[in-house]
Amino acid sequence: MAKTTLAAPAEHSAEWSPILQELESLRRKVAERAEFVEDLAHELRSGLTFLRGYVDLFLAGTLGPISDKQRHALEVMARRTDAVLHLLDQMLSLERARAGHLELSPAVDIAEVVQHSVQSMRVAADQAGVQIEVQCPPCLLVEGDARRLLQVVDNLLSNAIKFSYPGSKVRIAVSDDGDEVGISVADEGVGIAPEEQQRIFERFYRSPRGSGKADGTGLGLVIVRAIVEAHGGRIWVESELGKGSTFHIALPKRQERARSAP
């Protein structure tokens, strides 16, 4: 999203001036806060990654033999450190998504984004005993940021796998819906109660029904929604408790431009 320059209509410039100054000062404060969060998260991230590396060295026995008790303690440390690292990554992603900075490419093929994401989720799906089915026509193009769109599909697929039962299926489908490209991710998992279907898009909200089952920070869907909206798209969910959930995304299709002669 480009930075908007605030300007008053010429005939009212004197009345508008203090309001615009106030808005400009607020905009600067928001930008400074975002920068501060980003710097802080980066610093914490590098420190923790360093510590995490030492935990791995201990666990691998590189620094000498360890007892079972020590192994157990180190494994707990590794898990807790991974959870904080994940939280920091999600916070960084959220700050970037909210700032709306997109690296726009004129033509991102959604089929490629989906295939890429499915490949990277295969291991997690196998571990959870979940089968992923893909239905994806080639060459549905949107103007957008390929990396951020990949993050959107990754988050939805990761949720679908996380909240599925072993032996069930996750279906991801891409469709040509006129002016929009549709992406849906459907699972046969735990489902979301009607009263929670809006709340899951709030920061840090995690359903008490699912959170015991799986790790997470409750920021994934906030990031997803911010990225989808920065692309001018929409996201919504349909779900039934105990039956499963389908997340839908609609993204504006790339406008066909007059082609120059080859």
Binding site for ligand ATP (CB under 6 A): 90, 155, 159-160, 163, 187, 189-190, 192, 200, 205-207, 210-211, 216-221, 245
Distance, in Å, from the CA atom of 160 to the CA atom of 250, rounded to the nearest integer, reads 18
Q: Among ligand ATP, Mg ion, none, what binds residue 16 when CB lies within 5 to 8 Å by partner kind? A: none
Using DSSP's 3-state secondary structure scheme, residue 167 falls into coil
Residue 138: CB minimum distance to Mg ion, A: 28
Copy the structure tokens of residue 243: 């039956």
Residue 69: CB minimum distance to Mg ion, A: 33
Copy the structure tokens of residue 34: 């975002």
- Of the two residues 130 and 251, which places its CB atom closer to ligand ATP in the complex? 130
Q: Among ligand ATP, Mg ion, none, what binds residue 186 when CB lies within 5 to 8 Å by partner kind? A: none
Element (H, E) at 246: strand 244-252
Residue 250: CB minimum distance to ligand ATP, A: 18
Q: Among Mg ion, ligand ATP, none, what binds residue 152 when CB lies within 5 to 8 Å by partner kind? A: none
Fill in the DSSP letter of residue 103. Answer: -
Amino acid at 125: A
- Of the two residues 189 and 220, which places its CB atom closer to Mg ion in the complex? 220
Residue 3: CB minimum distance to ligand ATP, A: 28
Cβ atoms 149, 111 nearer than 8 A: no
Of the chain, the end-to-end C-alpha distance in Å amounts to: 32
Q: Among Mg ion, ligand ATP, none, what binds residue 163 when CB lies within 5 to 8 Å by partner kind? A: ligand ATP
The residue at minimum Cβ distance from Mg ion is: 220
Positions in the binding site for Mg ion (CB under 5 A): 159, 220
Q: Among ligand ATP, Mg ion, none, what binds residue 219 when CB lies within 5 to 8 Å by partner kind? A: ligand ATP
Q: Among Mg ion, ligand ATP, none, what binds residue 228 when CB lies within 5 to 8 Å by partner kind? A: none
Burial of 244 (0-12, 13-18, 19+ CB in 10 A): buried
- Of the two residues 64 and 208, which places its CB atom closer to ligand ATP in the complex? 208
Distance, in Å, from the CA atom of 187 to the CA atom of 232, rounded to the nearest integer, reads 25
Distance, in Å, from the CA atom of 241 to the CA atom of 238, rounded to the nearest integer, reads 10
